[in-house]
Amino acid sequence: MQQVRWGILGAGRIARQFARDIRHAPSARLHSVGAREHARARAFADDFGIARACGSYEELVSDPDVDAIYVATPHNFHLDHSRLAIRAGKAVLCEKPLTPSSADSEALISAAREADVYLMEALWTAFLPAIRKARSWIEDGRIGDVLQVRADFGFPAPYDTGNRLWNPDLAGGAMLDIGIYPVAFNRLMIERGPEQVTSVVRRAPTGVDAEVSAILQTGDITSILSCSFWCDLVNTGRVLGSEGWIELPSFWRTGTARLYRGAEQVEQFEDHRAGEGFEFEIEAASQDILAGRKQSAIVPHALSLALQDDMHKILAAASDAATA
CA distances from residue 152 to 165, 175, 218, 220 in whole angstroms, order as listed: 18, 11, 18, 21
Cβ neighbours for 136, distance < 8 A, ≥ 6 positions apart: none
Establish how many alpha carbons lie within 13 A of residue 130's alpha carbon, considering only the half-sphere containing its beta carbon: 28
Pick the catalytic residue: 90, 96, 133, 313? 96
Q: How far apart are CA 258 and CA 76, in angstroms?
A: 36
* Spatial CA neighbour of 83 closest among 99, 97, 96: 99
Peptide bond into 97 cis (omega under 30): yes
CA 147, 149, 151: angle at the middle one, nearest 5? 165
Cβ neighbours for 204, distance < 8 A, ≥ 6 positions apart: 159, 166, 210, 229, 323, 324
Q: How far apart are CA 312 and CA 102, in angstroms?
A: 8
Tell me if residue 96 is catalytic.
yes
Quick check: helix, strand or coil at residue 144? Answer: coil
Instruction: Give the chain's end-to-end CA distance (angstroms, integer).
Output: 54
Q: How far apart are CA 28 and CA 47, in angstroms?
A: 18
Which residues are catalytically annotated? Answer: 96
